[in-house]
């Protein structure tokens, strides 16, 4: 079985390709940086160069492909400037459009990485995959939902489409890095509701779930890629405060927090619990079901690493001259 991965040099894509190689498969990858893919992967991975903004998907990349894992897209987290928002939307919309154009009437199993952000941020009963998605008011969430709907049209030619709604992926280099940077700059959030929880999943489980979906019987429709246990914002704050002990930390209102960490600001205040019901019912076993323990492990690793030297503004200016 031939599996194609888009965005294979990203945080999840690199690990997914390696897992498939270790399983005896020879995945193909399309990436904007094929030279980087050759550095990361061995000869069992075939890399194709693709710049979706300016060119169609290379036809040879799709020859004989049975399954596609579509991961390409700008990360959601970090300071959300107008340019950043536009880049996030364009990277997903254009990449998905080009992929669907290249497939045409070719029947495949398409696995699309989406986000739990499509549900918006509120409160109420726990959300499972059978819960209807209300049309979000947030422009970014609306764009993500639009990409899901575009990909879902591929079912018309007999293809199977799985929509993987990822929570925040906990890993070194991923979540909670934007929050670490926030706390390191003597900022935090204003105390949210005690039940506020960020939908999150350990990097190991996120990769394992995608690999499982790529190799097992197709599961059409949405899949929640989140840990079974909620990641309470109130439980996470003392861990961050311990990792970054600073005096006089400023508690930012939600609108100002959004400028610093993007959609994480809304997730940190959301009381809407998202449950990975379909994955559990299908027999997927989470190796790290408690995301708080995963955050604790990432922070411990970060604290164990030597801190980079802090330079004064004058020293930085002199180095640039």
Whole-angstrom CA distances from 317 to 8, 67, 312, 321 are: 37, 51, 9, 7
pLDDT at 318 over 60: no
- How distant is the alpha carbon of residue 130 from its chain centre? 21
DSSP state at residue 45: S
Which tokens is 163 given? Answer: 């929509």
pLDDT at 200 over 90: yes
Nearest CA-CA partner of 278 in 196, 204, 216? 216
Strand boundaries in 12-108, DSSP class E: 28-31, 46-49, 65-70
- Residue in the block written with tokens 């019912």: 281
pLDDT in tens, 149-197: 999 989 998 999 999 999 999 998 889 999 999 999 899 888 778 889 9
Separation between Cα atoms, residue 7 and residue 69, nearest integer Å: 9
Longest dimension (CA), the chain: 63
Which tokens is 134 given? Answer: 């209300």
Rounded to 10 deg, the angle between the 291-304 and 233-243 helix axes is 10
pLDDT at 310 over 70: no
Q: Is 264 helix (H, G, I), strand (E, B) or coil?
A: helix
Exposure string of 129-147, with b = 16+ CB inside 10 Å and e = fewer, is bebeeeebeeebbebbbeb
Which tokens is 54 given? Answer: 């300016």
Strand boundaries in 7-45, DSSP class E: 28-31
- Residue in the block written with tokens 């992929």: 99
Contact 7, 69 (CB under 8 A): no
List the domains of the chain with CATH numbers.
2-168+201-227+272-287 (3.40.50.720)
**pLDDT for 321:** 43
Which tokens is 188 given? Answer: 């935090």
Which tokens is 316 given? Answer: 């930085």
Q: Is 321 helix (H, G, I), strand (E, B) or coil?
A: coil
Chain mean pLDDT for the chain: 87
pLDDT in tens, 100-150: 999 988 999 999 999 998 888 878 889 999 998 888 777 888 888 888 999
pLDDT in tens, 28-69: 998 887 777 677 776 778 889 888 889 999 999 999 999 999
**pLDDT for 313:** 46
pLDDT in tens, 209-223: 999 999 988 899 999
User: pTM here?
Assistant: 0.89
Q: Classify the C-alpha dihedral 89-92-93-95 as positive or negative.
A: positive
């Amino acid at each position: 079985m031939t599996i194609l991965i888009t965005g294979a040099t990203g945080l999840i894509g690199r690990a997914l390709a390696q897992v498939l190689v270790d399983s005896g498969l020879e995945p193909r990858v399309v990436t904007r940086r094929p030279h980087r893919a050759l550095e990361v992967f061995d000869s069992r991975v075939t890399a194709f160069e693709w710049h979706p903004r300016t060119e169609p998907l290379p036809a040879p990349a799709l020859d004989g492909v049975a399954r596609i894992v579509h991961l390409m897209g700008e990360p959601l987290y970090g300071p959300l400037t107008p340019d950043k928002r536009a880049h996030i939307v364009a990277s997903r919309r254009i990449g998905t459009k080009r992929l669907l154009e290249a497939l045409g009437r070719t029947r495949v199993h398409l696995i699309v990485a989406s986000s739990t952000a499509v549900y918006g941020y509120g409160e109420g009963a726990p959300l499972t995959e059978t819960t209807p998605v209300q049309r979000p008011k947030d422009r970014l969430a609306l764009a993500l939902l639009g990409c899901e709907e575009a990909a879902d049209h591929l079912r018309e030619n007999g293809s199977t489409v799985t929509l993987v709604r990822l929570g925040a992926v906990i890993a070194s280099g991923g979540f909670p890095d934007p929050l670490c940077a926030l706390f390191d700059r003597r900022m935090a959030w204003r105390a949210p509701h005690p039940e506020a929880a960020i939908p999150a999943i350990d990097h190991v489980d996120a990769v394992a779930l995608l690999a499982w979906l790529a190799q097992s019987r197709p599961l059409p429709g949405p899949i929640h890629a989140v840990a079974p246990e909620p990641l309470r914002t109130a439980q996470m704050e003392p861990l961050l405060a311990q990792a970054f002990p600073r005096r006089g930390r400023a508690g930012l209102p939600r609108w100002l927090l959004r400028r610093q960490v993007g959609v994480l600001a809304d997730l940190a205040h959301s009381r809407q619990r998202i449950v990975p019901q379909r994955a559990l019912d299908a027999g997927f076993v989470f190796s790290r079901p408690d995301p708080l323990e995963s955050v604790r492990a990432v922070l411990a690793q970060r604290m164990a690493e030597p801190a980079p030297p802090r330079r004064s503004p004058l020293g930085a200016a002199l180095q640039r001259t």
